[in-house]
Structure 1
Amino acid sequence: MKASRGLLVMLCIILFAAMSLADVRDVFAREKRVAVATAVQGTVQVLKSGGSKPFKAFKNMSLNEGDQITTGKNGSIKLELSSSKADQDQVTIGENSQVTFTKLKEDKGAKAKMNIWAGSLWVKVKSVSNASDKFEVETPTSIMGVRGTQFYVSVDPVTEISRLAGFAGVVESTVEHKTSKQGEEKRQFINPTELLVSYSDQKSAVTYAAINKLDDFVQQMSPALLQQLLQDAKSIQDEQQQLVDRWQKELKAGKQPEHALASTDEELRIAAANMKKLLSLLVQEAVKQEKFKPGELESIVAKINRELGETIIDLDLTEGLQLTKRQLEAQERQQRAVREQTERRSKEEEGRKKERDQALADRLLAEKQQRDQVNRQTQGEQRKQAEERYKEQLSPQERAQFERDKKAREQESGSGSGVWIPYPVPGPKPNQANTPAVNLAFDGLANNEFTPEQASGSIVNLNVSLHGFTAASSIYGLQLELEYDQSLALFDTTLYQAVSDTNPYRMVRSSGPFKVDAGSGLSQAESVDQLDHYYSGTAPRLLYSVTKFTGTAAAIGEEQTVIRLPFKITAPGSAAQPAVFKIIAITAVDAAGNVIGGIDMSGSSAALTVKRP
């Protein structure tokens, strides 16, 4: 019976696996709206609603309400939002993004809502055909409602700036000031060629709409999204023409087009010409900025034009977008606002870093003072016990003489401790001319060049070393942040944390200047440390801290390795591809809890080159 039941389950699995993508859409669409992955590239992780562990996304995978998608560098995923009551919407998520489906419903109309907290999206909406249909994209500062349109959205998690670029149709954006008690809102409508920048300051919601400045826009655009945008070139052009025709019809009827770029025939002519040139100028700028390998983008454009039988994207176009004086001024205001917001967030982050550094120094000082107090109490008790044991060996006369001598010495020294113990006076510390410095270097790699055959398992080890921390610069506590490029290598947490007495990464720390208790049973351990792997915005970082709990501050004269970090090579190429590893912040404190200044950071970065043998 059990065997038959198992066979039946296996047959069901085989039949479901053999279903086409359309079959999968139909099965799920009967009950609710789902998103189906039609293409996956690079690192893409999915955290299912209610789950605790993410897993790799795969083609034909279905995503439901509450699911969260995270992409790594060079990672992207293309989705189709299937529905039994509406046309398919398409969403492409670019690299270094975090997106959540907060709503996927079909109750009284097709409804979809996505939250993007970091990264970028390319959205092509078809499902909104009546008042009950809704498609919304929410950023930390705005909610964008759309009707039959194609647009781009990005969120910079560092500056908290949201960008919305229109390419076809009209996008309605509602920007909310989340901390405002009155629930302040700003509604704006974005047309093709326009870019909306929005963020929240301490007082209000801030928005700036202007004609898209393409060089800045392309610089922060994901190549995967640019390629998808080009694949949709024909539908973009058709929708743009439909919009222009509607505006033209309304102008001829004596009506003012609502939320339009044009209020006169001449303005309409300029707007229509700008729309037609938009994609060609976008591609030209991408070629100039080398967003793709040489010749790759030109081949994509040639194929698109050839398949469509017409030149929709013209790489030889010489005319740029035509802007009025008013539009140029709006563009400059927008750029100035972006610069000011970026500088403001940079200063705020600098202030938070100083607070973290001071908090670390305060914590280390408090821990040292507490240890000193415990040590004094322990030493006092030990001295008293030693004195009592000594007096037990004396005769009554010798004991009386000892007490008289002790009292006389206390009066001479002014001490009231009741215990006299001579202490050696420390000699002067040797003069050390070395400047405190930190250095990064890849272990055993000549010129920091690596080929897969050079190390078992394609692992490279990055050494963090210190020198010149002597005398008054001896270290009692250390914290450093390292940022790296994950396009070629990823930090190997499993290898670093492997439980083994022969783990080389543990041995480096336990035998190094801090004598870390790394779980290897070191009886003379003097420090504890911690390593955290996290993302700051889209950049992966490692935060390492080490603190002494006994002994004196670590004096590091000649260069010594403090920690060794394993990285697994993920993308060896046919040509040299440098990846930069750099220490972006370091704080060292002495035994008194004072921050050690003047650290030389000239050796705090290393560029790794990965080559195919």
Structure 2
Amino acid sequence: MKRIAALSLAFVFLFVTFIGPGVAKAADKAVRVAVVKEWTGSVTVSKSGGSKPLQVFKKMSINQGDRIETGPKSRVVLQLAGNDEEDELTIGADADVSFTELSDKDGVKTRIGVLAGSVFAKVKSITGADDRFELETPTAVMAVRGTQFGVYVHPRLGWTQLHVTAGVVQAEYSAATEIGGNDRPAGDRTSTLEQVNNQDKTAKRDAKGDTALITLEHQFVYPAQSATFLPAGGHGIEVLYGYANIKALLADLDLAVLRAMVAGYAEAAKENEQYVQAWQAAGCTVDSSGSVNVSCEILKSFSELGGERLNNQASESEQGYEIRVAHNMKAYLAALVHAAVDSGMLTRQEADASRIPWQKAALQLNDNERQQQQWVLKRLKQWINDQHQQITSTYDADAAYQISAEQQKMDRHVQEQVEQKYADALSPSDRKRFEHDLKHARLEVCENAYENAVCRLESPTTDSSSGNGSGGVITPNPDPKPDPKPDPDPKPDPDPKPKPKPDPNPDPDPQPQAHVLELASGVDHTAPNSRVVVDTVLKRLTAKLDVVAVEFTVEVSGGTLDTVELNDNKARYRHGGSKFEIAHHPDDYDKSNSVDSITLAGNRFVYRLIITTPDAVSLESDDQILSLPYIAGGSGTMSLKLSEVRFYNATGTLLEVNTMDKPLEIKVNP
């Protein structure tokens, strides 16, 4: 059972416990890492080797061996870095997800276990023969290649549903020896396991002295298709396969997953169009015997969604069938959005903003395909009812509530003791910094979490500024607005003093701000269309910075980033100032200590750098992080501005690094 009150205790460990974001043991170095992009609700992570669940926070690193759990109405979005392409994973409510393997050694390898809940993956990193991205559930393993797909795992019964938005997913499962249900469509085959791509792999299993054969089956699932995997006891897995039943899918679809699907529409549409063009260029057809060549496996797969071979569908020509398959692949997501608007799950404004042509979108199915959809739904309901009849519930709701309340009270007490003990051991300046960091951590929790104990005002006399760290309960808006009508001074001064004369010896100009990341260039003017190299440099540090993660944004006007030069000469520009030994190629991972990623959005350049070794990198004044090649525009001024500068240490604390006061300006003279 999930720990009920984990959120009320764990967030303090962001600042008082070493959780090692971006760190892995040297013996099992894993440079492919996941970073928390955003989260809402109740989201905790159990770090590999740790005993307590921790509150997630933005930019937190999720490493190999970590486990994420979410509560009701919750979600977390992760970015998986490891090369130039970033994958994205959206985890919905009531989920239990473990990161079994995150590695870039000998190819990009990602293996994620989904024990419960909904997950949606956008995978871009699978480009080489050695790359692998797999989701493993209690009933199947899903391997992908450049795909967008969703997986739902029932938390108690363990059945899995797979649906694909773009690309193809290969699901591997152990075959059932018996298939339940005797009311399949009359034209259907005798066994749903006589599917395409049977690999004929067998393994022996000893069950109570009897030897049984388990066959490992492979099922390819394409856009608009759905596969459901049901545990069949000692007989392996039963598979229900057909066109996705959109209305039934929406009943179990997590809203966060739906919105992630909508956000990925443009890339999904492009990928599906490439599939269609590939089979058309290959001259693919499914002949009367159902025989196809390799390039036409996708058409064969669709031909089996009605439980019959194409040659038995006399009412439809081969050309008409191929046109309909292409339509369904392209229209699936739009049809899902259409149904979501009709059901109230999405608003019309959200749907219109997505630029998806949803208003009239629908799948085009024949009678056999609709019958197969209905049979799949009926068989799933029958299976669920059978499982419920076998379960004897002994759950006492009142007792569970009482236990939950007591646990939250105990955890809150322990949290206050930990905070006070830690704060008392600090110097006055460090204690002030701790209280500042703790306040911001709580604010993030209160902004994103639901019903968290840390956000409830337990006593009207609680003082969070006492300095002992124990008055930590705050509200999401801890700073009340000032009184708009303050009381007037009861004794105004009748004879205000004259203004003092100017100081004949004014103080010298204020010193430049310390601990700052600046943009610097060797030139202050240039010619139009010429290249200018701009460095990001740390200046005026009063103490060394031990960092494990860096992020910042550069915005430009009057010029453009030379992305071709930047990508062709990674080592020259993405150099890390010699202290960050960045891996730009799989062969470099063994001798590297970090991995970076870049994101471009118009005139904005976002840079992320994450340490992948146990040791943090110690930075000093004049250390460089990155160099960027820009092409100057026409006459005028090229202006570059830094923003969103964040440096983190090994405890997840945001370090003091300021942003330069003014943009870097370079004159462009004709």
Equivalent pair of 2:65/2:100 in contact (CA under 8 Å):
yes
Q: How far, CA to CA, are the matches of 2:399 and 2:321 in structure 1?
A: 48
Letter in 2 for 1:165: H
For residues 108 and 224 of structure 1, the distance between their equivalents in structure 2, rounded to whole angstroms, comes to 33
| Alpha-carbon offset, residue 328 of structure 1 | 2.0
- The equivalences for 1:433-448 within 5 A come to none
Q: 1:180 to 1:191 in 2, by over 3 A?
A: farther
CA distance in 2, matches of 1:89, 1:104: 12
Spell out, residue by residue over 1:36-81, the C-alpha distance to the aligned partner (whole angstroms, 9 max, x if none).
1111111110000111100111111111111000011111111111
- Rounded to whole Å, the distance in 2 between the matches of 1:498 and 1:64 is 28
Of 265, 270, 277, the match for 1:238: 270
Matched, 1:278 2:332: yes
**Residue 115 of structure 1: which of 113, 116, 132 is its match?**
113
Q: Is the 8 A contact 2:88 2:121 kept in 1?
A: yes
Q: Judge conservation of contact 2:30–2:103 (CA < 8 Å) in 1.
A: no
Q: Distance in 2 between matches of 1:497 and 1:42?
A: 19
Query: Secondary structure at 1:333's aligned position in 2?
Result: helix
Instruction: After TM superposition, give the deviation of residue 300 of structure 1 in Å.
Output: 2.2
* Structure 2 equivalent of residue 574 of structure 1: none
Deviates more, 1:149-158 or 1:251-260: 251-260
Distance 2:156 2:30 in 1: 39
SS at match of 2:386: helix
Alignment partner of 1:171 out of 154, 169, 175: 169
Please name the residue that 1:331 is paired with.
Answer: 373
Distance 2:205 2:366 in 1: 35
Partners of 1:284 and 1:149 in 2: CA distance:
22
Tell me if structure 2 keeps the 8 A contact 1:185–1:205. no
SS class of match (1:251): coil
**How much identity, in percent, do the aligned residues show?**
27
Does the 8 Å contact 1:164/1:195 carry over to 2?
A: yes
The worse-fitting range, judged by mean Cα deviation, of 251-260 and 319-328 is 251-260
Partners of 1:173 and 1:277 in 2: how far apart?
A: 23
Distance (whole Å) between structure 2 residues aligned to residue 291 and residue 41 of structure 1? 18
* 1:512-551 to 2 correspondences below 5 Å: none
Residue 282 to residue 482, structure 1, CA distance change in 2 (3 Å): farther
Q: Structure 1 residue 196: deviation in Å?
A: 0.3
**Which residue does 1:221 correspond to in 2?**
253
CA distance in 1 between counterparts of 2:329 and 2:399 reads 40
Between structure 1 and structure 2, the one with the greater Rg is: 1
1:65, 1:104 within 8 Å by CA — same for their partners in 2?
Answer: yes
> Contact conserved, 1:47 with 1:54, CA < 8 A, in 2?
yes
Equivalents in 2 of 1:240, 1:234: separation in Å?
A: 10
Match of 1:53 in 2: 52
Cross-structure match for 2:100:
102
Which residue matches 2:320?
266
**Deviation string, structure 1 residues 417-447 (Cα, Å, up to 9, x no partner):** xxxxxxxxxxxxxxxxxxxxxxxxxxxxxxx
Q: Which of 345, 350, 357 does residue 313 from structure 1 map onto?
A: 357
When structure 1 is superposed on structure 2, of 134-143 and 319-328 the one drifting more is 319-328
Q: Which moved more, 1:72-81 or 1:245-254?
A: 245-254
Q: Distance in 2 between matches of 1:227 and 1:158?
A: 25
Partner Cα separation in structure 1 for residue 45 and residue 251 of structure 2: 27
Instruction: Give the Cα separation in 2 of the matches to 1:57 and 1:66.
Output: 15
Counterpart in the other structure of 1:187: 218
Deviation at 1:335, TM superposition (A): 1.1
Q: Once the 2 structures are TM-superposed, how far is the Cα of residue 136 of structure 1 from its aligned partner?
A: 0.4
Using the TM superposition, give the Cα deviation of residue 222 of structure 1 relative to its aligned residue in structure 2, in angstroms. 0.9
Q: Which amino acid aligns with 2:158?
A: E
> Does the aligned pair in 1 maintain the 2:334–2:362 contact within 8 Å?
no
- Residue 155 of structure 1 corresponds to 153
Give the superposition deviation at 1:93. Answer: 0.5
- For 1:65 and 1:250, the matched residues in 2 are separated by 41
Match for residue 315 of structure 2? none
Q: What CA distance in whole angstroms lies between the structure 2 residues aligned with 1:173 and 1:332?
A: 22
Match of 1:146 among 144, 147, 166: 144
Calculate the TM-score normalised by the size of structure 2. Answer: 0.47
Change (3 A) 1:31 1:71: closer
Contact persistence 1:96–1:118 (CA under 8 A): yes
Read off the aligned partner of 1:102 and give its amino acid letter: T
Alignment of 1:299-378 (within 5 A): 299-305=349-355, 312-314=356-358, 316-317=359-360, 320-350=362-392, 353=393
Q: Does 1:199 align with 2:115?
A: no
1:106 aligned partner, one-letter code: D
Shift of 1:483: 9.8
Question: Deviation at 1:270?
Answer: 0.5
Taking only aligned residues, the RMSD between alpha carbons, in angstroms, comes to: 3.5
Cα distance in structure 1, aligned partners of 2:271 and 2:330: 11
Give the C-alpha shift of residue 32 in structure 1: 1.1
Shift of 1:130: 2.4
**Range moving further from structure 2, 281-290 or 250-259:** 250-259
* Aligned-partner Cα distance in 1 for 2:284–2:383: 43
Residue identity matched to 1:205:
I
**Structure 1 counterpart of 2:35:** 36
8 Å CA contact 2:42, 2:74 repeated in 1: yes
C-alpha separation between the residues in 2 aligned to 1:483 and 1:207? 39
Deviation at 1:480, TM superposition (A): 3.1
**Equivalent pair of 1:177/1:200 in contact (CA under 8 Å):** no
Following TM superposition, by how much is the alpha carbon of 1:123 offset from its aligned partner in structure 2, in angstroms? 0.6
Equivalent runs, 1:568-607 vs 2, <5 Å:
none
- The 8 Å contact of residues 146 and 170 in structure 1, kept in 2 or not, is answered as yes
CA–CA distance in structure 2, aligned partners of residues 331 and 266 of structure 1: 21
Q: Distance in 2 between matches of 1:190 and 1:39?
A: 30
Partner of 2:242: 210
- The 2-side partners of 1:265 and 1:90 are apart by 37
2:30·2:64 contact (CA, 8 Å) conserved in 1? Answer: no
Whole-Å separation in 2 of the counterparts to 1:498 and 1:82: 35
Task: Report deviation, 1:253.
Answer: 8.7
Quote the offset at 1:160 in angstroms: 1.9
Number of equivalenced pairs:
340
Q: State how far apart, in whole Å, the 2-side matches of 1:226 and 1:483 are.
A: 35
TM-aligned CA deviation for residue 246 of structure 1: 1.1
TM-score, length basis structure 1: 0.51
Change (3 A) 1:266 1:58: same
Q: Is the 8 A contact 2:92 2:254 kept in 1?
A: yes
1:498 Cα deviation after fit: 9.7
The separation in 2 between residues aligned to 1:246 and 1:285, in whole angstroms, is 30
Structure 1 Cα separation of the partners of residues 410 and 63 of structure 2: 35
Q: How does 1:407-446 map to 2 (within 5 A)?
A: none
Letter in 1 for 2:76: I
- The letter of the residue matching 1:196 is A
Cα offset, 1:484, TM superposition: 9.5
What CA distance in whole angstroms lies between the structure 2 residues aligned with 1:43 and 1:94?
11
Q: Structure 1 residues 79, 483: closer, same or farther in 2, change over 3 A?
A: farther
Secondary structure of 2:323's aligned partner: helix
Structure 1 position 234, deviation (Å): 0.5
CA displacement at 1:155 relative to structure 2 = 0.2
The answer to whether the Cα contact below 8 Å between 1:122 and 1:225 also exists between their aligned partners in 2 is yes
Query: Could you say which residue in structure 2 is the equivalent of 1:250?
Result: 282
Shift of 1:177: 6.1
Q: SS at the partner of 1:158?
A: coil
Q: What SS does the corresponding residue of 1:184 show, helix, strand or coil?
A: strand
Q: In structure 2, what is the equivalent of residue 64 of structure 1?
A: 63
Q: Is the 8 A contact 1:180 1:204 kept in 2?
A: no
Structure 2: gaps spanning 5 or more residues: 1-13, 16-20, 177-203, 207-212, 287-291, 304-309, 311-317, 414-450, 452-472, 477-670
- CA 1:131–1:497 in 2, change beyond 3 Å: closer, same or farther? closer
- Cα offsets for 1:205-245 (capped at 9, x unmatched): 10011101111101111111111111111111111111111
Is 1:493 equivalent to 2:396 in the alignment? no
Counterpart residue identity of residue 194, structure 1: Q
Q: Quick one: structure 1 residues 141 and 303, their matched pair in 2 at CA, closer, same or farther if it must change by over 3 Å?
A: same
Per the TM alignment, residue 198 of structure 1 is displaced from its structure 2 partner at its CA by: 0.3
Q: What is the CA deviation profile of residues 129-161 of structure 1, one whole-angstrom value per residue up to 9, with x for unaligned ones? A: 222111100000000111111101010022321
Match of 1:81 in 2: 80
Report which of the two has the higher share of helix: 1
**Residues of 2 paired with 1:102 and 1:77: CA distance?**
18
**Partners of 1:251 and 1:265 within 8 A in 2:** no
Give 5+ residue unaligned stretches, structure 1: 1-12, 15-20, 306-311, 357-478, 500-539, 541-567, 572-613
